[in-house]
Amino acid sequence: MDTDKPFDTAMLESLLEEMGDGAIAIDANGLIIWINANYHKLLGVSPDVDPRGWPIERLIPESRMTDVVRTGKSILIDIMNFDDQQFVVSRFPLKNAEGEIAGAIGFVLFDKIDPLAPLMKKFEVLGKRLSAAERKLAEARKAKYSVASIINRSPKIDKVKDKVRAVAQHDSPVLLGGETGTGKELFAQAIHSLSARRNNAFVAVNVAAIPEALLEAEFFGVAPGAYTGASDRQAEGKLALARGGTLFLDEVGDMPLSVQAKLLRVLEEKEFEPVGSNTIQAADVRIVAATSLDLEQMVADGRFRRDFYYRLNVLKIDIPPLRERREDISVLTDFFLEEFAHRTGEPVRLMSDGAMHRLISHSWPGNVRELRNAIEQACILSKAQILDADALAEIVPEGDNAPDPTAVVQAMQVVTQGTLPAQIEALERSAIIDALSQCAGHKANVARKLGISRSQLYDKLRRYNLS
């Protein structure tokens, strides 16, 4: 090859002149400096009109050539509207000898979009799938529970609900305390659902479930190329995902001191930096933390930062364990029985008075989570429609830590308390359940045992939803 032969600019100009369905160029100010005859004709411009010197938008209102000049980035393929036509176009920046952006050049690849129809169809399908996935992800990041989702009869939980309603109106951090299994995330979601942030994301992080080495990246994200093997794209952390919403830190007592220091800055300065980045980002999140540990003792032992503890502990809510609110056990049991039936498609099981007494007498060290698991086990292991105390014998053993008998009696009374008609209905329903259990569901024997007719029995079965 003869490398000394000069570049033939005339040949290039001739090539551009004949280029496809049209070509046009602008300078750094967005003014047209050249247009070939094909494009001139395609746009319907009179042969007597010379558009050179015009702003590109005067000739082509929807042109994006100036975007190419401004950003210095090519637009490899695009669909441009012109009057009632659509053109498939490409646009590229032009640089001078110093490498500065001196203008842009654009080409019409097709004067109709028909050749791209198959490709556009694929893009349309992919776009719909992406939109659907984004909607599902956004829905998944919204709180699923509200205060109305919290089932209780206990006055202690009523007081907790009142606190939830009060703190939800403010943006200060909240610290939820309570034993494991008491439903702290449920209360955190209730706070979010009542707050001004309810339409934005609720992002939960279980600190204890993430290796210490990954926690910082999990919270703050990772800048492109921050370390070997890091992605070339920005990896967003939970602070970015929760922007405008609520970040729930479950088991915050397991957080390393180094990460506590960085989150302290988030609480105080409302900003953070992704791992490996020097760019500061705004942290528009409300922090709700939960712990089953004694953070005050951990502060005294030097295992939890004192300043971080005080920034978290602005609004404190303690959730009582299940053994301190035994009157909730019956309503929670009914809910879990119905939940299991809905999930499996089986009929709703019932609890005999003896079984309910056994549940109320248990100490429940695992709290509501343990109760839910016990109900599910009983429904799986027993085929009986009415679960009695024997069905719970191995699942809920009678231990040495028996509660005060008075507390059990009071909790059992709550099951049937209320107005006189309500108490009569509760006793009648209980008598029918016991008779069904003793007669193995045989309706004629049940009616005979209760001293009522079979038609009366069927009416009561429908009334109490025992069919």
Structural contact between residues 58 and 83, judged by C-beta atoms closer than 8 angstroms: no
* Amino acid at the residue 310: Y
Phi, psi for 65 (deg, rounded to 5): -60, -40
- CATH C-level class of 323-401: mainly alpha
Reported as type and span, the H/E element at residue 179 is none
Q: Is the pLDDT of residue 37 over 90?
A: no
Q: Could you tell me whether strands 174-177 and 286-291 are parallel, antiparallel, or unpaired per DSSP bridges? A: parallel
Retrieve residue 393's tokens: 């014998």
Say which residue the tokens 């540990």 belong to: 293
Phi, psi for 123 (deg, rounded to 5): -65, -40
Reported as type and span, the H/E element at residue 203 is strand 202-206
- Rounded to the nearest angstrom, the gap between the alpha carbon of residue 121 and the centroid of all alpha carbons in its chain is 31
DSSP code per residue over 350-377: EE-HHHHHHHHHS--TTHHHHHHHHHHH
Structural contact between residues 159 and 324, judged by C-beta atoms closer than 8 angstroms: no
| Neighbouring-strand partners of residue 92 | 105
Q: Could you tell me whether strands 101-110 and 85-95 are parallel, antiparallel, or unpaired per DSSP bridges? A: antiparallel
Retrieve residue 433's tokens: 């359940």
- Residue of 333, 341, 319, 330 whose CA lies nearest to 372: 333
Exposed (0-12), middle (13-18) or buried (19+): which is 106, by Cβ within 10 Å?
Answer: buried
Structural contact between residues 248 and 174, judged by C-beta atoms closer than 8 angstroms: no
The alpha-helical segments, DSSP class H, found in 148-245 are 155-167, 184-194, 212-220, 238-241
In angstroms, the CA 248 to CA 92 distance is 46
pLDDT for 197 equals: 92
Q: Is the pLDDT of residue 127 over 90?
A: no
Architecture of the domain made up of 418-467: Orthogonal Bundle (1.10)
DSSP code for 293? S
Q: Indicate the domain borders of the chain.
A: 9-116, 147-320, 323-401, 418-467
Retrieve residue 306's tokens: 């004192």
Retrieve residue 196's tokens: 């001004």
Retrieve residue 155's tokens: 């006055």
What value does the mean pLDDT take over residues 124-134? 68
Structural contact between residues 64 and 78, judged by C-beta atoms closer than 8 angstroms: yes
Say which residue the tokens 């951990």 belong to: 298
pLDDT single digits (tens) 375-414:
999 999 998 888 988 889 889 887 545 555 555 545 555 5
Q: Could you tell me whether strands 271-272 and 281-282 are parallel, antiparallel, or unpaired per DSSP bridges? A: antiparallel
- Residue of 335, 342, 396, 408 whose CA lies nearest to 370: 396
pLDDT for 406 equals: 54
pLDDT for 309 equals: 95
pLDDT for 2 equals: 47
pLDDT single digits (tens) 59-91:
998 899 999 999 999 998 888 888 878 888 889
Retrieve residue 29's tokens: 């100010």
What CATH superfamily classification does 9-116 receive? PAS domain (3.30.450.20)
pLDDT single digits (tens) 289-300:
999 999 999 999
Q: Is the pLDDT of residue 233 over 80?
A: no
**b vs e for 405-438, b when ≥16 Cβ sit within 10 Å of the residue's Cβ?**
eeebeebbebbbeeeeeeeebeeebbebbbbbbe
**Nearby residues of 412 by Cβ (< 8 Å), 6 or more positions away:** 353, 356, 357, 360
pTM of the model: 0.62
**b vs e for 298-313, b when ≥16 Cβ sit within 10 Å of the residue's Cβ?**
bbeeeebbeebbebbb
For the domain 147-320, what is the CATH code? Answer: 3.40.50.300
Q: How many CA atoms lie within 13 A of 90 on its CB side?
A: 9
In angstroms, the CA 131 to CA 124 distance is 10
Helix, strand, coil content of the chain in percent (nearest 5): 50, 15, 35
- Rounded to the nearest angstrom, the gap between the alpha carbon of residue 101 and the centroid of all alpha carbons in its chain is 44
pLDDT single digits (tens) 167-219:
998 999 999 999 999 999 999 999 999 999 988 999 999 999 998 888 888 99
pLDDT for 3 equals: 46
